Amino acid sequence: DGGITQSPKYLFRKEGQNVTLSCEQNLNHDAMYWYRQDPGQGLRLIYYSQIVNDFQKGDIAEGYSVSREKKESFPLTVTSAQKNPTAFYLCASIDRASGNTIYFGEGSWLTVV
Amino acid sequence: GNSVTQMEGPVTLSEEAFLTINCTYTATGYPSLFWYVQYPGEGLQLLLKATKADDKGSNKGFEATYRKETTSFHLEKGSVQVSDSAVYFCALKGGNAGNMLTFGGGTRLMVKP
């Protein structure tokens, strides 16, 4: 079945370490997004990519990096520069052919210990 | 820029009570409006959507009407169930912001038996 797969679902990180969250989609969607969710703050856009080999900063890009070398993959790296990385991270993609329907992954919980 | 404001939670209701979660938005152009639901431990799921003024989105007994005159998209359900307990997010996309999704802060609903 087609969909968006995020991994890992749960991740613990020591302070000062970089970690990479995986996001893979087999839906043939061009546009992909990373959101961060904090309690009481809803979802905030970190980075987005409208096409392979291109990506743009969202509202809270500091301390994060992404790549888009393949259409199917949009990994997010949480760097040591991110001061408060503990959060729930959601990856999404858009199907323009169906009127821009947005599909979400199941999310990844990152906890800094 | 675009923004979405929804009522703060938590909203606590008894089973079979009537539910309203308010959502208002600010946007340029003609955005599409969405309600997403997040069940405990899961990612976001699209609940319903409306793409133009006066459209009514509906799904699983939930309804919301796109009111351009009041810039609102309130979520309603006539009789809630315990299984409806979740966090509900109002969102908009489009207008002058293209494919960017803008989310409200989320409203937690708790339904007691």
User: How confident is the model at residue B99, as a pLDDT?
Assistant: 64
Whether residue A109 lies within 8 A of chain B, CB to CB, comes out as: no
Whether residue A98 lies within 8 A of chain B, CB to CB, comes out as: no
A7 neighbourhood in chain B, CB within 8 Å: none
Residue B62 has pLDDT above 90, yes or no: yes
What mean pLDDT do residues B39-63 have? Answer: 89
- Going by the DSSP 8-state scheme, the letter that residue B60 receives in this structure is T
**Cα–Cα distance measured from residue A64 to residue A24, given in angstroms and rounded to the nearest whole number:** 18
Choice among A6-15, A59-68, B98-107 with the minimum mean pLDDT: B98-107
Choice among A5-9, A93-97, B31-35 with the minimum mean pLDDT: A93-97
Residue B96 has pLDDT above 80, yes or no: no
Nearest by CB to residue A43, choosing from B46, B94, B103, is: B103
**Cα–Cα distance measured from residue A72 to residue A31, given in angstroms and rounded to the nearest whole number:** 10
Residue A94 has pLDDT above 90, yes or no: no
User: How confident is the model at residue A98, as a pLDDT?
Assistant: 63
Mean pLDDT value across chain A: 88
Q: Which two tokens stand for residue A93?
A: 């993609």
Per-residue pLDDT band at A53 (split at 50, 70, 90): very high
What mean pLDDT do residues B95-99 have? Answer: 62
Residue A77 has pLDDT above 80, yes or no: yes
- Cβ neighbors of A21 (< 8 A, separation 6 or more) are A6, A7, A8, A11, A34, A75, A76, A77, A78, A89, A91, A108, A110
